[in-house]
Structure 1
Amino acid sequence: MAADTPPETTPRAATATAVPAGRGGTTVTAAPPGTAVPSGNGTPTAQAPAGTLTPDAIGFLDALAIGLNATSPAYSLAAVIGPLVALVGVHAPGVILASFVPMLLIASAFHFLNRADPDCGTTFSWVTRALGPTTGWLGGWAIAMTGVLVVGSLADVAVGFGLLAVGADGLADNSLVREALTVLLILLMSWLCVRGTEASARFQNVLVLLQVLCLIVFAAVAVYRVHAGTGSLDAVRPAVDWLDPFGAGGSALTGGLLLGVFAYWGWESAVNLTEETKDPANAPGRAGIWSTVVLLATYLAVAFAVVAYAGTAYLAGRADSEEDVFAALAREVLGGWDWILLLAVATSALASTQTTIIPASRTALSMARRRALPAAFANIDPRRGTPGTSTWWVTGTAIVWYVVIHRISENALADSLTALSLLIAFYYALTGIACAVWYRRRLMRGPGPFLLLGAGPLLGSAMLIWLLAEAVADMADPAHASSSTAWFGLGAPLVIALFLAGAGVVLMLLRRAASGAFWRERPGVAPEAP
């Protein structure tokens, strides 16, 4: 085995540290930096980091708040409700309900995989163990790129709605001011991430309570005005058949489900903090599952209220303005109290700006530990116990992406978010497959293991792969892009996704040529339960 060890894994004198192991939630004594560490199947994989993330920094409720905020409930609803109603009409709540099914199944896969391997790299680590290093690297790259794609958009929304909430409409319409404030906000949120996980969790707890409270007030007032007949728009009485996702059918349903997947995305940030959470083998996974359940209840309540109050014609007519739908509805529903909903969207996007940095930075850290990325990405601040280097790299890349894509066209950010949905479906599907493969020797032990470890995750993955294939075919037509602009004869979102995928393959090959240690790992299976 020593003959197979590359030069960069030659041991050097240093102090050993305890890091999470690859199985069972136990810990192992990590060798000094520079020593190869066995993976879950016995293959030497990576150098142990010079330090470790802060253990027991947050609890279950903190992780739940972070998982909820990472999805940015108010912003996600604001961004998708118009396009969703334009596609499926009053069946928008039904599509939101249908989109919950693959999310719950994949959240279950995250829970069980985290119990076997509580690694902050989540999908990257699990897919590597189950399917091999090349597939695992691509899964990790997809997670990192989702953060890069969306952080700028989230911060931009937080700035815009924050300015509207305080009555600074003129500044909100000034693109240069908004861009400058967005960059400053991204830097501030990154600094909070680096400062410490405990501080981040306290900040997130306040924000999640604030935005959920604002959403409840908005939904309650909207429903009351519908029943009282005091609404100013074409109100529609809510009906149970709105929960039928097949009411629109065909390509409309496919597009709607993809929007729904985007709306739920982000809950796994709770699992990316597994090494910093109390009871790391169980609490983060449960927080992820409960995040999807709370999101379902919130989304259905607000979707029913919005569709009932505004009607389908109003919402469909504003499909291209995306999050501006809520800005207009705030004035319609709440009048002079419109700042309540504006504040909800602003705090939602603000919270998600911070929490979206977490999975990208922790994934980069995990990849660097195993030499899938340069060792510098594994640096951990010895005083704060946070991955400073990987966090600032994600931040810098996200800022560059935001500034460049924002200058290309007004709707390029929307196309970027559509491309994001493809990456989300890809790495979620990989995770479900990895769960079934990793636990394959346990699937025949009874209906529980078969359903929870195999059939459920595979069903969720199959649904996401179908959505991914349908979306790629659909986005090949430039008419379906948010900007309806053709890039190289294809829709802009598909070009963005293909560009990022191609860049990932190139960087993977370059890294493999520079250091092949990670690619000598071999996939394995879950160890036998005691």
Structure 2
Amino acid sequence: MNPTDADAGAKSEAAPGSSVPAGPAHKGLRSGSVSLLGAVALGLSSVAPAYSIAVTLGLVTLAVGHLAPAALLVGFVPILLTAFAFRELNREMPDCGTTFVWTSRAFGGSTGWLAGGWVPQIATLIAMTALSQVGATYLLQVLGLQGLADNSTAVTVTALVLLGVTTVIARRGVQIAASVQYALLGLQLIALFGFGFAAFARHGAAAPSLAWLNPFAFGGVGPFAESVLLCLFIYWGWDALITVNEESRDADRVPGQAVLVSTFVLLGTYLFTAFAAISFAGTGSTGLGLGNADNATDILATLAPPVLGSALGTVAKLAVCVSAISALLTCLVSSPRGSLSMAAHGALPTAFTRIHPRHRTPAFGTVFFGGVAAALLVLLELVSARFLGDAILSIGLLIACYYGTTALACVWHFRKRLRESPRELLLKGVLPLLGGLMMLAAFARSAHDMIAPDYGSTSFHGIGGVFLLGIGSIVLGVPVMLVVRARFRRFFRDGRTAVAELTVTDPSETED
């Protein structure tokens, strides 16, 4: 780092509430390449709305019946409150490291590395294995290759091919990725809203009722908590758009706007689809009913043919396939940028700071995450196909952990400014605090429920496999962090000030 950068970092640290001086000119990313629409598209695509609603709505209905829309609405509340924390922190510190930088600045290097770096990266890697497998299965079905779709080896090979293709696209640039996402996201939204309108128009469809939105009608804390935890997964992923903040136009403003836009678009899409599905199929436990356990894991595959016909039903399957692939692509855009920031701030090897000289993307990090996801997919498949399913369920713990920590980091970072105005108190204090507490309560409740050996598909010595995978992933980060700490002492020693300046700046390489 040259003296000018060092002076800027020192001045930033000396000025209370000032932002971290980390920008695209430092890390080598292409600034101004992502518009508000592009950021929203990346955020929505990372959530995989068609896939998420298809695999989650049935499970929510099993828990709370016709109150599934109410669960979607209540589950949105902690997400919205956390979104305000992300927006305010991004305004103050627009860095592609997002949660890593923010939690390090608030709570120190160890918390930042573990809760802000390790946990979201592990959650994303686990999600990538699931997304690649789901995308592969649906792709084979759409192509009429049902025999291969039922063959685990064929599905795994196809999933590896999808990982390779999306890695190449992500490595070539966020502009290309965003352009691809427009088409993929458009197909998803057309399919979901087309399904919804057709379901409402079907003869015999029940009139939707506002009673389905009543959050006080849940029959006990257990079903309420279970449904809300499921809904955390259905909304998870919108924060991926923040990782392209240094490549966005108006980096301190556009990503924050995109966060709120994307979350409300998700809420509207999910509520519309849920109302339509319940109106058409009802919540019965037989036939097409959403309360039928045989339909729970994929309501679109079950309901699309009778609602849309066989031909358009195939389009709905294509939408789920596209949804999974689109989210996979966004994961390969967001995770390498997180590791780029960690390395640039001296918390990971400098290899992760390698920027492609032409595409201005984290070249090494993109290939690294694509390769690790492929290896993890093969490993989980070799251990047990059921093990992979439990790994997906465990993501809820990781989501609640790092979302909750980030929300509390917002409150702590801005604590001295909360008395400046009612706006500061509300947006930087009260709302993020409520969101953080709700997330951590969800973490504690889900961890308690997941200990049961019958939670999920596997167990070990009377402890649920989902619990072991979720808590185990977090605990595994501790010894890994200790190993990293021994090599990168400066980052962990300096704590909160370590992210006030960059260790590595614009490390472009001459690779093609």
TM-score (norm 2): 0.90
Amino acid at match of 1:344: A
Aligned pair 1:165/2:150, yes or no? no
Shift of the alpha carbon at 1:407? 2.9
SS of 1:479's equivalent?
coil
Residue 231 of structure 2 aligns with which residue?
260
C-alpha distance in 1, partners of 2:11/2:67? 47
Residue 3 of structure 1 aligns with which residue?
none
SS of 2:385's equivalent?
coil
Residue 41 of structure 1 aligns with which residue?
13
C-alpha distance in 2, partners of 1:456/1:60? 24
Alignment deviations for residues 447-467 of structure 1 (CA, whole Å, 9 cap, x no partner): 211110000000001111111
**8 Å contact kept, 2:27–2:344:** no
**8 Å contact kept, 1:51–1:385:** no
C-alpha distance in 2, partners of 1:407/1:42? 53
Shift of the alpha carbon at 1:319? 6.0
Aligned pair 1:501/2:474, yes or no? yes
**8 Å contact kept, 1:51–1:379:** no
Aligned pair 1:342/2:317, yes or no? yes
Shift of the alpha carbon at 1:171? 2.1
**8 Å contact kept, 2:110–2:495:** no
Residue 452 of structure 1 aligns with which residue?
427
Residue 43 of structure 2 aligns with which residue?
67
Residue 176 of structure 1 aligns with which residue?
153
Residue 232 of structure 1 aligns with which residue?
none
The partner residue of 1:140 within 109, 113, 117 is 117
Alignment deviations for residues 491-515 of structure 1 (CA, whole Å, 9 cap, x no partner): 1111111221122111110111112
With over 3 angstroms needed to count, the CA separation of the structure-2 counterparts of 1:320 and 1:217, relative to structure 1, is closer
Amino acid at match of 2:77: V
Shift of the alpha carbon at 1:321? 5.6
Shift of the alpha carbon at 1:39? 8.7
SS of 1:205's equivalent?
helix
Residue 24 of structure 1 aligns with which residue?
none
With over 3 angstroms needed to count, the CA separation of the structure-2 counterparts of 1:489 and 1:37, relative to structure 1, is farther
Residue 326 of structure 1 aligns with which residue?
300
The partner residue of 1:271 within 239, 242, 248 is 242
Shift of the alpha carbon at 1:45? 11
With over 3 angstroms needed to count, the CA separation of the structure-2 counterparts of 1:332 and 1:40, relative to structure 1, is farther
Alignment deviations for residues 69-104 of structure 1 (CA, whole Å, 9 cap, x no partner): 010000000111111111111111100001111111
With over 3 angstroms needed to count, the CA separation of the structure-2 counterparts of 1:522 and 1:50, relative to structure 1, is closer
The partner residue of 1:213 within 168, 171, 190 is 190
With over 3 angstroms needed to count, the CA separation of the structure-2 counterparts of 1:96 and 1:381, relative to structure 1, is same
The partner residue of 1:130 within 101, 106, 130 is 106
Alignment deviations for residues 132-157 of structure 1 (CA, whole Å, 9 cap, x no partner): 11110012111111111011211211
C-alpha distance in 1, partners of 2:163/2:392? 17
C-alpha distance in 2, partners of 1:39/1:98? 43
Q: How many equivalent residue pairs? A: 488
The partner residue of 2:399 within 413, 424, 427 is 424
Structure 1 segments unaligned to the other structure (5+ residues): 1-10, 17-27, 230-234
**8 Å contact kept, 2:109–2:492:** yes
**8 Å contact kept, 2:397–2:471:** no
Identity of aligned residues (%): 37
Residue 515 of structure 1 aligns with which residue?
488
With over 3 angstroms needed to count, the CA separation of the structure-2 counterparts of 1:85 and 1:116, relative to structure 1, is same
**8 Å contact kept, 2:57–2:296:** no
C-alpha distance in 2, partners of 1:214/1:45? 43
C-alpha distance in 2, partners of 1:76/1:221? 20
Shift of the alpha carbon at 1:328? 1.8
SS of 2:395's equivalent?
helix
With over 3 angstroms needed to count, the CA separation of the structure-2 counterparts of 1:410 and 1:458, relative to structure 1, is same
* Superposed CA RMSD: 2.5
With over 3 angstroms needed to count, the CA separation of the structure-2 counterparts of 1:84 and 1:321, relative to structure 1, is closer
**8 Å contact kept, 2:42–2:240:** yes
The partner residue of 1:283 within 241, 250, 254 is 254
Superposition pairs for residues 307-386 of structure 1, below 5 Å? 307-312=278-283, 313=285, 314-318=289-293, 322-323=297-298, 325-336=299-310, 337-386=312-361
TM-score (norm 1): 0.87
Amino acid at match of 1:83: L
SS of 1:445's equivalent?
coil
**8 Å contact kept, 2:137–2:155:** yes
